[in-house]
Structure 1
Amino acid sequence: MNEQINKPQVPPPNYLVFAILATLFCGKIFGIVAIVFAAQVNSHWNAGNYEAAKSASRNAKIWAWVSFAAGLAWIILFAMLSVFGVLAGIMQGAFN
Structure 2
Amino acid sequence: MFCPKCGKELPAGTAVCPSCGGNAGSIQPVKINSGLIGAIIVTVCCCLPFGIVAIVYAAKVPGLAAAGQIVEAQEAASKSKMWSWIGFGIGLVVILLNIILQVAAS
Fold shared by both chains (TM-score > 0.5) = yes
Does 2:19 correspond to 1:16?
no
Question: Which structure dedicates a bigger proportion of its chain to helix?
Answer: 1
Aligned residues between the structures:
85
The TM-score with structure 2 as length reference comes to: 0.73
Deviations 1:36-68 (A, max 9, x none): 000001110001101100000100000011111
Inter-CA distance 66–8: structure 2 relative to 1 (3 Å threshold):
farther
How much is the aligned-residue C-alpha RMSD, in angstroms?
1.7
Looking at both structures, which has the greater relative contact order when contacts are Cα pairs under 8 Å and sequence separation is at least 6? 1
- What stretches of structure 2 of length at least 5 have no aligned partner? 1-21
What secondary structure, in the 3-state scheme, does the structure 2 residue paired with 1:40 have?
Answer: helix
Inter-CA distance 3–69: structure 2 relative to 1 (3 Å threshold):
farther
1:83 to partner: Cα distance: 1.1
Please, which of 37, 40, 46 is the counterpart of residue 26 of structure 1?
Answer: 46
Inter-CA distance 10–47: structure 2 relative to 1 (3 Å threshold):
closer
The TM-score with structure 1 as length reference comes to: 0.80
Does 2:95 correspond to 1:44?
no
Does 2:85 correspond to 1:62?
no
Inter-CA distance 76–40: structure 2 relative to 1 (3 Å threshold):
same
- What stretches of structure 1 of length at least 5 have no aligned partner? 87-96
Give the structure 2 partner of residue 78 of structure 1.
98
Structure 1 runs (4+) greater than 4 angstroms displaced:
2-5
Inter-CA distance 4–29: structure 2 relative to 1 (3 Å threshold):
farther
Percent identical across equivalent pairs? Answer: 36
